[in-house]
Amino acid sequence: MQKDYNDFHILKTIETDSSVSQRKLSSQMKLNVASVNFALKRLVQKGYVTMIGENPRRIKYYITPEGLKEKIQLAYKFFGRNIYYYKEIRKDIESRIVKATGGTEISIAIYGACELSEITYMVVSKMSSNFLGFFLEESKITDEKILGFNVQHLNLLKNNNRCLLLLTDEFDADATSDIVTTVNIETLNLVDYYIY
């Protein structure tokens, strides 16, 4: 599996940057240069990559049509493997929400603006609940939207009725204790389960 991942990463990188160095690949992939060199030689032998140049500092790598096919096949292979885990995470998040709410209808807010926030929103959007939006502390808010929603200031939750705040990003409980200790806000920490 690691070999496939390394091959995919090298092929994808070479496709976009033919002058990428082995040192840069090594840094991106967190592998030593010798391992990258070995993988590149193997890809050249298989006909997936061609090397042009004599000077090691000026070698260019090009992905071949066979290399493009291999890259696509590896991408499908990873997608097929990972879609199962994605579905499992969605089911797990839903069951945690149902357990936290006791199955009753409740307003839901998401704390965070990251990949886990997006997956959590996909779950929440399928449930019969009132979605209040994405929230962060003022210092973390940028002008970026997440899934078309503006990220709101966490203080705005104080004025809502009963609400479940799903924590999908690192949360400074001390800095926001006055908000989360409000009687109408319950929290469910998903970070501890899915981010390591």
- pLDDT for 71-100, tens place per residue? 888 888 877 777 777 888 888 899 989 998
Please count the residues of the chain.
196
C-beta separation of 172 from 117 below 8 A: no
Asked if the model's pLDDT at residue 150 lies above 60, the reply is yes
Average pLDDT, stretch 118-125?
Answer: 91
Question: 53-70, pLDDT tens digit by residue?
Answer: 877 678 888 999 999 999
Write out the H or E segment, with its range, that includes residue 163. Answer: strand 163-167
What pLDDT, on the 0 to 100 scale, is given for residue 196?
46
- 2-75: CATH architecture: Orthogonal Bundle (1.10)
Determine the residue type at 110: I
Domain 105-194 coded CATH 3.40.30.10: no
- Strands lying side by side in the sheet with 130-136: 145-146, 149-153, 130-136, 107-111, 163-167, 185-189
Which position has the higher pLDDT, 174 or 122? 122
Determine the residue type at 94: E
Start and end residues for every CATH 3.40.50.720 domain found in the chain: 105-194
